[in-house]
Structure 1
Amino acid sequence: MSRWIALVFVFLLVSGCAAYATHQFDSVFGSENTANRVSGTVESESEFYNEEVKPILDNRCVSCHACYDAPCQLKLTASGGIERGGSKDLVYDGTRLLAATPTRLFIDGKTTDDWRAKGFHPVLNERGQSPSANLQGSILYRAIALRKQQGAFTQPVLSDDYDFSLARDQQCSSVEEYSQFEKNYPNWGMPYGLPALNEKEYDVLTRWLAKGGKMPASAVLPAELQKQVVLWESRLNGDDLKKQLILRYIYEHLFLYSLYLDDGEAFRFHLVRSKTPPGEPIDRIATRRPYDDPGVDRIYYRLWPDPEVKVQKNHIPMQLDEARYARWQSYFYGEDYHVTKDPGYAPEVATNPFKAFREIPANARYRFLLDHSQNTIMAFIKGPVCRGQVAVNVINEQFWVYFVTPEVAYNKSSAELLEKQIKRLDLPAIESSNALPLASLVTFSEQQKTYLSAKAKLIESERGRAVPLGLNLIWDGDGNNPNAALTIFRHFDNASVVKGMVGQHPKTAWVIDYPLLERIHYLLVAGFDVFGNVGHQLVTRLYMDFLRMEGEMNFLLLLPKEDRENIRKFWYRDASQQIKDYIFNDLIKVNRESHVVYKTNDHQGELYEKLRTKLAKVLDHGYDLEQSKLSSENVAALYQLQRTRGGGLVYLPNVITVLVTEKGVPLEVISVIHNKAHSNISSLLDEAAARLPEEDDITLVKGVLGDYPNAFMRVEEDELLDWTKQIASLKTKEDYTELLNHFGIRRTHPDFWFVSDSIANLNKQDRPRESGILDYNRLENR
């Protein structure tokens, strides 16, 4: 009882202090009102913001304040996010029993008043506008001033006063509460746990905030680009049923993409559903999922200019050009078929793409997805998830992905199979965003098993035997599409998807066909609700187990029949009996022999090399070390380091981003990816128990790979040999500390921002379209 009394007392004390602070602010500066911020900008103010203020916000603030995992939901990626402010509510909450109300910037609120009604508090002054009020009433100013007051760091590793864990208790103070926050957390100014802004940067932001923090409207589209918008919006809207169904299919797969209509980087667009037709202002339809009932008789698909700065962790780029449009036309209109009805938006239909789009030939749908398969897969990494161990601990640390060729896969038999099994391909989103996990899992498990059993019978049937289980099963990118082979790296609670067969031979690989590729998208992208309850998120994760196993089983069909069970056993060492019963179930086992001819005893390794040869024309080599500016001697040393296994590698973080310099001048970026081995990855809650550190390895690549670096290092090119030797000889935690002492650029390092800016510049030079601001929420403190 005394504990509850104490808690009530603290609550009343805090509430009383906040009320008193509000009264004090109101007395001195007037009451808070969003109308106080409504004012235009003159040309000089717009120029000052765009040329001096915005670069500081982008390069010093956005690295921690973007996407759903921005602390306090404070997104500094666009003026709309700054005006929206912060919130005490969490987006990532793995314990909520009921789905939360979505708070997606530019979607779930249209005005600042909308966001205030949803509980967001301002970070800019919304009281009377004067220099004093604009500074004292601005959390942005108070935060950078608090960091300036703290001064330079005096020790390389920060004390336990700092909490850098992703699940930390966030102190989302309003300006009325900020004085108490400053007393309680004097070291928590911004940038948090990083070097302070320099004098010039601090002066620029102070002058901007003192004048009211004015931000100009988004730049007007150039006339030539506006013509492209008109052209594409005419293509993306049509009156007949066939075109409307095709366009709905396109929208439900591209709604997260950054669409480019020219060769420049200044303007990006999102495809959105609008109540208004082309030529009128966009009136965006806000639903949880892209296939939810829009509540209007007619949807229009519009191109909405994206005002946010480009952030790499959620950036999925696609160029809309004439070549792509011609391919889409050939996929969707290349064969004669008729659409007889609108499938509607009832959940039992809309959540299952095989029901909603059954009148569009499966081959057309598959061709469309294959055309940009990296993006299709990347969307589940960079889409509504943004982060989360539960979202990605379903995949291995590094593996290669291939695709079944459409010509082999989509004959009459496979089309009949898909139609017969359509009800068994329902996905967890059919239960909305509030799911009961245990009952749901049993249902989905049985449905998946039935589907795989039917698929196995087809492959073993007389009709199925007409399709050889050989290399011709694998799509070759039509000889020109680099999406034919992908590499996926997992970095604990986030992941990367890149083109090509990057790194050493992986433990596992996937072969994906159309039903699998489509379900991955509708499970983890279109159907996943980051605001859903714990049951929805848990069932989604567990269902993805089935899809991973299916992709692995497809790959195993290319290996000798006698190898398959032993390889599965190796992949699922120490897995639960339930998982083993599923994997080794006779109903889903295919007893046909592979048609691949092997000449060595290492069948899996030989298969990888055969696939490399088959796909040689389309393999992307952009991450190969040979593409770097480094000497051949240093490249050879890096490859030698990549052969290291186990031992002290366990002390390396998931992603190390290394700036290589030549006499202090930035030369190249190298990424070191720590691939953490597991006995199996079927455990949801106790991943640590499955770790096998002695089987760990590392992959080294040219450029930035990984959107969330865990550590920065700086190495002079003539020191690279010593650096590689030091990593290869790691044995203890102290050895890693010594490596950091010599080469590390810790959070506290005085050159931190120089290294950060140099990596950003080289990243942009390497990949101008794909690159963006990196996320620093996972930078270590050791």
Structure 2
Amino acid sequence: MILVRNLLPLLLALLSGCTVTSRHALDQRYGPADPQRFDVPRQPTGGLSYRADVQPILERRCVVCHACYDAPCQLKLGAWEGIARGASDELVYDGGRLSEAAPSRLFVDAGKASEWRQQGFFPVLNERGQTPAANLAASVIYRALQLKHSHPLPETAVLPATFDFSLDRAQQCPRIEEYDSFATANPLWGMPFGLPGLSDAEFATLRNWLQQGAPFEGLPPLPAAVERQVAEWERFFNGGSRKERLVSRYIYEHIFLAHLYFDGDPQHHFFRLVRSRTPPGQAIEPIASRRPYDDPGGEDFHYRLQRERESIVDKTHMPYALGEKRMARWRELFLQPDYPVDELPPYSLAAGANPFVTFRDLPVRARYQFMLDEAEFTIMGFIKGPVCRGQVALNVIQDRFWVFFLANDGSGQAADEFLERESRVLELPTAKGSDAGIIGPWREYAKKEEKYLQDKSAYLASRSSQRGWPDLKWIWDGDGSNPNAALTVFRHFDSATVVKGLLGEVPKTGWVIGYPLLERIHYLLVAGFDVYGNVGHQLLSRLYMDFLRMEGEFNFLSFLPSDQRLAVRDYWYRGASDEVRAHVYGSLARFDVESGIPFRSGDARREFFGLLQQRVAPVADRRHELAGVGDATLQADLALLAAVRGPALSWLPELVILRIEDGARAPRYVTLLRNTGHSNVSSLLREGRELLPEENTLSVARGFVGAYPNAIYRVQRPQIGELARAIGQLGSEEDYRVLAGRFAIRRSDPAFWQYSDELQATHLKLAPLTAGLLDYNRLENR
């Protein structure tokens, strides 16, 4: 032990000396690094265009893994500024951090590359002397591409175990002075990692671009018509009265993650609504706050439409249309009604954690209708926002369920007064900030939620005696035209998706959401969630979401006959504690009012789902339903897949994109979604004990559903029945390997990129506004 102790400083010194020597060698050969080299892009001079020649290759081959918070090494390749920023070995998704981390959001927390160097990011482009040789030799990007070009994937269907594709794998983020050692130790780990390399032509294009010093010509100017709309909307958001300012704050805090576009713009330029130090007409200077309701540092700020500069990727793309109808709608809801705003609320953690107090001056009906009008977007906030990644973050929800909403019938003064009385107990745990504790705050908010449920039950009972028992009229029907009235949520283990429409057969559970619940979901998991927060903040958010899920389920149960509610609750929560079941529907939620729906069967849950389907049928979105394939025979074949049930599905990936080939016609695509059976979803860390494989089901959706495919299959149309039988007979990993060998386009397939390009292009063609690039971070290796 003494010898080891004495040798350790020497070993560390030697290792440090190797790094210094390597860096010294680079400095000697190419000159010292200049951190300001990429603060301003170099204009192209060699006939090569970043936008026309380079960006398409980066999007098709690199952005599909390097985008958003889960980009490996925080290297975001969807914008030139992200490449110039470089990489970091600090994790964004870190469920175990004890203290909040400093945010590192591209275009927000720093601007110039040299500013990112001060925050610990290291360059992946050459920042030394600008010669063609140095621009290649001292570039991490080139070295990674060249490593794959020199060492292609092994010719094997399943890649060896040395390739770790797990989301929690140890990061490998070598700096340029470390890259020789990295390449020697890991010759097969060139980029794209665990996928085929670039074609010779693609490699040559990127090599030439890097050799020229990674020039960038900037974004093209906006069309004059779009500029006019930007100016018009910035005038709207920056109205001077207290009423206008409060309305703009409310809207901003709900759509700050949106990709805003103008409904008359054929090119679909996207923007984000930001708070800026500078007024319209000047360059935007974003206010870098953790949350949209953090103090902006004074009243002198402006809402601005900032042009989106990153590639559009499906996992974060939440489009939201602006136009004449939208502005008229918001004026109708918020500005035309006569109500006073005597004082503007403060900006603080406490204010953001309780929107019912912060925005008490805005009419409740207007707030709820604002969220209902784009309910899919509202729910999508916690599906596609920063909270969405990881098993623990998402095991709070079932694998598939339907979502409905209470009608915004303007219940009047009594409802508003009830919300006013309850506003204090509706405060969210986000009030504790990003460095939160767990045990004490958890007990505090559990007691508040318990009181709210008791008071809510009493209020609903009183309302029922005055307005009639709960019936279908209490459910929002989309006002006869809005498809947001019915949604389906899918969980894919560590990611999730929400779509308009009611997909698949009747689900196990459903949520009915009213205004207080919808608002709390948004402020807990979207506006109030900090992906850079500590473990306490993240766990409090996850644990409180249990309450919100239970409340949505309680609302659903309230429409069932009173003598069937407990049985349905117990079916949903098999194996859960009495305390949990009571919280969903029992002693803590004393609502004994009978349903106003004349049920005719002994299975009221299934019957109610059927009635809800009928209620929303006139507005339900059907784009993903199999009936839309327009071919009865194909529809029947796909129904064979949808009929697969049970333990065999445990071997199937969570989300599979199925390419159906049919002679000379273009391939058609459907998505296979495995719905894992659970006895309940009330446990934070014991999900494995709650699995019920015999209750696994398979949903088949027309087109593309989900941002993270786990596998891509191809099948000849006559073979769909064979695929269904093969899936239904899975019983081991070897069985699955045989199935994948027959149907899967594995990540090792030399033709992978050919299939990928066609798939991505079809996705964007089918949904040019709502689709983005699919992400390959979760592709299997089986």
TM-score (normalizing by structure 2): 0.97
What corresponds to 1:672 in structure 2?
672
Distance 1:354 1:221 in 2: 39
Instruction: Decide which of 281, 294, 298 is 1:279's aligned counterpart.
Output: 281
C-alpha deviation, 1:266, in angstroms: 4.6
Unaligned runs of 5+ in 2: none
**1:302 and 2:304 are equivalent in the alignment:** yes
Q: Give 1:209-248 correspondences, 5 Å limit.
A: 209-248=210-249
What corresponds to 2:511 in structure 1?
510
Structure 1 stretch displaced more, 38-47 or 487-496: 38-47
CA deviations over 1:385-406 (Å, ceiling 9, x no partner):
3512222111000000000001
Distance 1:737 1:8 in 2: 49
What corresponds to 1:422 in structure 2?
423
- Assess, with a 3 A threshold, how the Cα gap between structure 1 residues 174 and 467 changes in structure 2: closer, same or farther: farther
C-alpha deviation, 1:197, in angstroms: 0.7
What corresponds to 2:37 in structure 1?
36
- Assess, with a 3 A threshold, how the Cα gap between structure 1 residues 434 and 464 changes in structure 2: closer, same or farther: farther
Structure 1 stretch displaced more, 256-265 or 34-43: 34-43
- Assess, with a 3 A threshold, how the Cα gap between structure 1 residues 694 and 227 changes in structure 2: closer, same or farther: same
C-alpha deviation, 1:372, in angstroms: 0.4
**1:541 and 2:542 are equivalent in the alignment:** yes
- Assess, with a 3 A threshold, how the Cα gap between structure 1 residues 36 and 459 changes in structure 2: closer, same or farther: closer
C-alpha deviation, 1:384, in angstroms: 2.1
Distance 2:765 2:111 in 1: 36
Distance 2:65 2:361 in 1: 45
Q: Give 1:270-669 correspondences, 5 Å limit.
A: 270-407=272-409, 410-461=411-462, 465-628=466-629, 631-663=631-663, 666-669=666-669
2:449 is aligned with what amino acid?
Q
What corresponds to 1:73 in structure 2?
74
C-alpha deviation, 1:333, in angstroms: 2.8
Match of 1:90, SS?
A: coil
Distance 1:627 1:263 in 2: 28
C-alpha deviation, 1:9, in angstroms: 5.5
- Assess, with a 3 A threshold, how the Cα gap between structure 1 residues 443 and 664 changes in structure 2: closer, same or farther: farther
C-alpha deviation, 1:522, in angstroms: 0.3
What corresponds to 1:158 in structure 2?
159
CA deviations over 1:123-178 (Å, ceiling 9, x no partner):
00000011110001111100011111112431100111111011111111111111
CA deviations over 1:214-257 (Å, ceiling 9, x no partner):
12212211111101101111111111100000000000000000
Distance 2:359 2:539 in 1: 27
Distance 1:31 1:266 in 2: 43
C-alpha deviation, 1:407, in angstroms: 0.4
1:489 is aligned with what amino acid?
F
- Assess, with a 3 A threshold, how the Cα gap between structure 1 residues 283 and 646 changes in structure 2: closer, same or farther: same
Q: Give 1:193-204 correspondences, 5 Å limit.
A: 193-204=194-205
C-alpha deviation, 1:298, in angstroms: 2.2
TM-score (normalizing by structure 1): 0.97
1:298 is aligned with what amino acid?
D
Instruction: Give identity over the alignment, percent.
Output: 45
Match of 1:555, SS?
A: helix
Distance 2:392 2:649 in 1: 24
Distance 1:696 1:462 in 2: 40
Match of 2:556, SS?
A: helix
CA deviations over 1:590-616 (Å, ceiling 9, x no partner):
101111111222221111111111111
> Any conservation in 1 of the 2:429–2:541 contact (CA below 8 Å)?
yes
> Any conservation in 1 of the 2:554–2:585 contact (CA below 8 Å)?
no
1:712 is aligned with what amino acid?
I
> Any conservation in 1 of the 2:85–2:113 contact (CA below 8 Å)?
yes
Distance 1:759 1:288 in 2: 36
Q: Give 1:45-64 correspondences, 5 Å limit.
A: 48-64=49-65
Structure 1 stretch displaced more, 473-482 or 728-737: 728-737
Match of 1:461, SS?
A: helix
What corresponds to 2:191 in structure 1?
190
Distance 1:345 1:39 in 2: 35
- Assess, with a 3 A threshold, how the Cα gap between structure 1 residues 38 and 511 changes in structure 2: closer, same or farther: closer
Distance 1:617 1:226 in 2: 38
Distance 1:27 1:781 in 2: 43
> Any conservation in 2 of the 1:317–1:770 contact (CA below 8 Å)?
yes
> Any conservation in 2 of the 1:459–1:465 contact (CA below 8 Å)?
no
C-alpha deviation, 1:477, in angstroms: 0.6
C-alpha deviation, 1:56, in angstroms: 0.6
> Any conservation in 2 of the 1:505–1:608 contact (CA below 8 Å)?
yes
What corresponds to 1:85 in structure 2?
86
Match of 1:390, SS?
A: helix
Distance 1:777 1:8 in 2: 39
Distance 1:39 1:594 in 2: 66
Distance 2:89 2:768 in 1: 36
What corresponds to 2:682 in structure 1?
682
Structure 1 stretch displaced more, 677-686 or 263-272: 263-272
- Assess, with a 3 A threshold, how the Cα gap between structure 1 residues 679 and 179 changes in structure 2: closer, same or farther: same
> Any conservation in 2 of the 1:46–1:216 contact (CA below 8 Å)?
no
> Any conservation in 2 of the 1:289–1:529 contact (CA below 8 Å)?
yes
CA deviations over 1:703-731 (Å, ceiling 9, x no partner):
11110000011112232232223223333
Distance 1:554 1:679 in 2: 20
**1:710 and 2:710 are equivalent in the alignment:** yes
- Assess, with a 3 A threshold, how the Cα gap between structure 1 residues 546 and 464 changes in structure 2: closer, same or farther: farther
Match of 1:497, SS?
A: strand
Match of 2:37, SS?
A: helix
Unaligned runs of 5+ in 1: none
> Any conservation in 1 of the 2:49–2:217 contact (CA below 8 Å)?
no
Distance 2:301 2:139 in 1: 41
> Any conservation in 2 of the 1:173–1:181 contact (CA below 8 Å)?
yes
Match of 2:387, SS?
A: coil
2:474 is aligned with what amino acid?
L
Distance 2:663 2:255 in 1: 45
C-alpha deviation, 1:208, in angstroms: 0.9
Match of 1:424, SS?
A: coil
Count of aligned positions: 780
Match of 1:407, SS?
A: coil
Distance 1:88 1:703 in 2: 37
2:283 is aligned with what amino acid?
P
Match of 2:315, SS?
A: helix
> Any conservation in 2 of the 1:153–1:195 contact (CA below 8 Å)?
no
1:675 is aligned with what amino acid?
N
What corresponds to 1:112 in structure 2?
113
What corresponds to 2:745 in structure 1?
745
2:483 is aligned with what amino acid?
P
CA deviations over 1:446-471 (Å, ceiling 9, x no partner):
00110111010011126654243000
Distance 1:400 1:627 in 2: 20
Structure 1 stretch displaced more, 199-208 or 149-158: 149-158
Match of 2:159, SS?
A: coil
